[in-house]
A = this chain, B = another copy of it.
């Protein structure tokens, strides 16, 4: 079916906006999430809630956790999540994460006969994460097409800032209170990790209010 898409959904700000965006582009969308031992497992509940808010099916795939064991603080509980001010975002790189996500999404798309795979990498992610850059997505598309000419990878936010995503998401009606961004998977978002600070900054720049409670706001 031409007009069917798989959307990678983490339950964060970008991918939730992506799901709402893809819903405007396709007749039928299917969310795909991953359990890869991430510390911020609360995002899986957020992903489910976001999918439900759009009445979209969601599949959660369990990845072999051991392969991400040395993936830094996002998956290793013995390493502290750095505060944003420590400027250690490079530490939160999980090797080949987007490659795994996209490959499983492509296989899922093949299985349910979908043509499109959406990933919500945004412009602000490019500095720290090589697998969020257009060059990587182009190379990934080539690799897929070397064996399957039908599947198309879509990364519509790759030149958008977090501010623009908050604006778009708000226009599309994303229920921000259901999303989860904090890298620490605690009761309440910490407001101190890189992910929290970026999110709060995006809302601030967009002159919008983030309805999520925070343990400590940076301003």
Are the C-beta atoms of B142 and A67 separated by less than 8 Å? no
Bound-state CA distance A62–B61 (Å) is 12
- Number of identical protomers: 2
Chief secondary structure at chain A's binding surface: helix
Among A95, A100, A130, which residue has the most Cβ atoms of chain B within 10 A? A95
CB nearest neighbor in B for A113: B70
Q: Among B68, B96, B136, point to the contact of A103 (Cβ < 8 A).
A: B96
Q: Among B67, B107, B108, point to the contact of A107 (Cβ < 8 A).
A: B67
Bound-state CA distance A162–B111 (Å) is 31
CB nearest neighbor in B for A64: B61
**Chain A residues in the interface with B (C-beta under 8 A):** 61-64, 66-70, 95-96, 99-100, 103-104, 106-108, 110-111, 130-131, 133, 135-136, 139-140, 142-148
In order of increasing CB-CB distance, the 8 nearest A-B pairs are A136-B146, A130-B147, A139-B143, A139-B146, A143-B143, A131-B147, A95-B110, A139-B142
